[in-house]
Amino acid sequence: MSATLNAAAAAAVTPGAEGPACAEPLPVLGRDVTVPLVTGGEVTYAALDYAASAPALQRVWDDVAAYAPYYGSVHRGAGYLSQLSTDLFEQSRVTVAEFLDCRPSDQVIFTRSTTDSLNLLAAVLPADCQVFVFETEHHASLLPWTNAQVTYLNAPRTPDEAVATLERALADRDPYGPALVCVTGASNVTGELWPVRELAAAAHAHGARIVLDAAQLAPHHPVSVQDLDVDWVAFSGHKLYAPFGSGVLAGRADWLQEADPYLAGGGASRKVTRRVGGEDAGGVDVEWHTTAARHEAGSPNVIGVYSIASACKALKEAGFESLVARERHLIAKVREGLAGVPAVRVLSLFGDEAPRVGVISFVVDGWNSSHFAAALSAEYGIGVRDGLFCAHPLVRTLLGSEPQAQGECGAPEAAPGERSLNAIRVSFGAGTPDEHVDRFVRAVGELVTDGAKWQYRTEEGRCVPAV
C-alpha cells in the first residue's frame, strides 16, 4: 500500500494487524450455528466437510469487512479508492508468493479456483506437450488436458511405487519433447500425502515439468515451491478458509508468457490498434501483457483475492507446526474411533501408517453411504460428504468389489450389470473443535449398533428424512 494512502484506511485493510498464534481451534464463521434434529431439539452444527469447502476464518471475514467500505475498481483508476484497491490487490499477490515460498522469477496469477488454475495451465501448454497424471487425481487435475497427449498412470499402492511408475513412464516417452506431470499433494479421498519432492525430482531428471495440485495440502501443511522444487502450484481460496471464489496458479512464467491469453479482453492487453492498409485492413492488432495480467482479463475478484491473502497471513501467524500437531490429534481420534467399529472399512492407497491430512473416507457394511450420511446429518447435526468425491477412478479402485445394495435409500443409479458405488468422507481442519470429532465417532458407533432412529426416502437421487 502506497505511503500516500490515509493511515487509518491502510490500517483498516491491512490483514494481520492483530491475531496471536493460537493452539486452540481457529475461530471460524458458523461455529455457533444450531440446526434442528428430526428426533427433536437442536444441536450446534458439526461441519466435517472441510475438503469440499472450509468455513471462513473469522479473521478473514473481519479483514474483508474492514476493507469493504474502501472497495473500488482496480488498475488504471485515478480515484482514491481505485488506487487503494489496486495496491491491496497487488500486495495480495506478494502475500501469496511469500506464503508459497515462490522463486523471485515466479508469477502469481489469480483465478477462480484450482479447477480454473489447472485449465489455465492446460491452455498454455506448448505444442506437442505430453502430460502424465495418475488416475488417483481429483477431476480438476485429471480432466483439463484434452488438447495434449495424456498418459494416465495406474494407482500406486506405495509412495515408492508412485515414483517408480512415473520414472518408467517418463523414460519410455517418445518423442522426447515438452512434458508435464500433474500430481496432488494430499488426496481429497484418503487424505494421504503424496511424495511430491521425489516426484518432482523424477520429473526434472527426465526433462519434464511438474504442477502441484495443493487444494487439499495448502490448508493443512506449509507449501514451499522452492523446497518441493515444483514448477507450478494451484490451490483454491474456499478450501483455505477464504470465501468469495478465487484461486491461485503460481510458478514459472515462460510458458505463461509465450501463450495466448487464457481469456481475451480488457486488462490482458497492453495496446490495441486498428490495422490500416493491406489485405488485413480493418482488423485489430493486440500487444498482450507479459505480466500476470496477461491471464487475468476482465474485472478481477478483488475481495476474493484479498480474502486469500488474509487467510495466508492468518495460517502463517497461527503457525503450521501447531496446526499440524492439533490436526494429527484429531486424525488419531477419528481413526481410533472408526477402528473400534468392525463394520467400518477406511479407504487407503498407501496403508494405515501413511501420513495424511484431516480427510478420511470409509464405507459401512450394510449401509448405503448416502443413507448413512443422511442419518448423521438429520439425527446428529453432523455434515459429511458421500459419493465419489469428483475422483471417480480412485474411489472405484479403492472400493474394488464392495457392493452396495441397489434400491436402498439414496443409492446412486448404476447401469445394467454395474454396482452402485459410493463412500462417506469426513474432513476437518484448523477450525474443528474436539467435540465435533467426538460426536462423529459416537454417532458412527450408535448408527452401526442401533440403526437409524428415523425413516428415510430417496428424493432426486438423495437420501432424505421421510416426513
State the catalytic residues.
Answer: 390
In this structure, which amino acid lies at residue 293? A
Instruction: Find, among 253, 252, 235, the residue nearest to 291 by Cα.
Output: 253
Residues 220, 186 contacting (CB under 8 angstroms): yes
What is the C-alpha to C-alpha distance for residues 421 and 432, in angstroms, rounded to an integer? 29
- The rounded distance, in Å, linking the Cα atoms of 188 and 395 is 10
| Three-class secondary structure of residue 247 per DSSP | strand
Distance CA 213, CA 121 (A): 12
Which H/E stretch holds residue 397?
helix 392-399
Torsion of CA 186, 192, 194, 195, to 10 degrees: 140
User: What is the phi/psi pair of residue 367, to 5°?
Assistant: -125, 135
Q: DSSP code of 26?
A: P
CB atoms within 10 A of CB 210: 25
Sole residue written with cell 494451484: 234
